Structure 1
Amino acid sequence: MIQNARKVLPVIHLLDGKTAYEQATLAFGLGADGVFLISHGNQDQLVMQLAAAWKRRHPAWNVGWNLLGMSAPDSLFFAQRAGIDMVWADMPGVSSTGASGIGSSVAKALLQPNAPRFFGSVAFKYQAHEPDPAGAAVQALNHRMLPTTSGSGTGHAPDVEKARAMAAAVARGPLDGELAVASGMTPENVPVFLPFFTHYLVATGVSRDAHHFDEARLKQFIEKVHGYNPAD
């Protein structure tokens, strides 16, 4: 199974700048490995401004964004200019059949020095049905993306056999078995998935509402993920 360290990357759903910063500070204070900022209210410009400001104020913070109204190549371009560490895209232009023009553009951009880590969603909620999740994960790896999957919808965990198949496929890849999950993870179910995923983009399962983490649940989640030992 995957041997590299597990990372927790809480996803902050933007309400306003003050609340988002408070949630980021909370997450890092509890030991999170990074945070993603996202807006479901068409506020990509504010997401960009806030994330860039956080990096200037806290250079050691690992900060990422998902810009829902922007193409993956453009999101990556602006992230590199702003010094953002991570980009996550719901439509990265890659599937089990290969890469579209968007996917090829992303792969080319990822060759640039100091390019952000790119989390490419494959076999992902609200995309077209993916008949071969494992093949999609391999294609993402081959295009320099960290494959990121989900369950069937927000708050739904992926099928365990899907997770197992994708983990087995990427274990033979160039990034030492890295595989991310971005839905349905909770302190209660995460132990089942720890053998398969290395990166956990988590929100609903550790939150008290759409914009505020539940401190106790997030702390418990981080402790369980960081405490995982593949040898156990």
Structure 2
Amino acid sequence: MAGKVYLIGAGPGAADLITVRGMRLLQQADVVLFDALVQPEMFDYCQRAELIDVGKRCNLASTQQRFINKMLVDAAQKHAVVVRLKGGDPMLFGRAQEELAALDEAGVEYEVVPGVTAALAASADAGVSLTSRGLARNVLFATARVGYGEDPNDWVKPVVAADTVVLYMGVKQAAEVAAALLAAGMPANTPLLIVENASLPSSREWPLTLAELPKAADWHLAGPAILLIGEVYRAKLALAEPLATAHRKCSA
């Protein structure tokens, strides 16, 4: 009899931000296929499971998506409880649809367990709401990243039109992101906030302007970072240290 696959959101980093449902399923799991951004502390919940690293790492050895899909189907033929543990929320920029399609095609039962996405953790760390009455009434989650062989991603127009923007996987492309937004008419003094390692004790933040964003590409941040854009970060920018000082702290 085939088992059941659970796509579980591990949350933004801190192990205790996983949902209670997600934690209980990890405790029951026979096998857990986990992403690169899942923190090792999360495995304390995996009391009896075989752990399989299927993480994707930029410019490093990674597991191709088609192999992950096959591993999930194969695991469900051997185990009753199979967990696919994804950083953040599985349904946001996590290739969940490809995995669900593979499970559907194979006739494998599945369930998705939501998680806390990095945008919410970064906002909590910064102490700045994504929305603000009279200032920001809409929020856009976007990415500028385009995978190999994929069609171009038309992300610029909606980003420029939004009140608050959360740009996933955008810091390593900081120069390209800044150039595209400036060319589309976004003001050079637009306030931004970079948050690294959201929800973890090592969380750090850097307020800056759109004009200063290209410098962030050279910071070589150690942990995952997210880019927040909008007028809600103007007060953060006003209180910020000079960018050169922030860069030195980043490199320390």
Whose radius of gyration is greater, 1 or 2? 2
More relative contact order, 1 or 2 (CA 8 Å, 6+ apart)? 1
Q: TM-score, normalised by structure 1?
A: 0.30
Question: What's the TM-score once normalised by structure 2's chain length?
Answer: 0.28
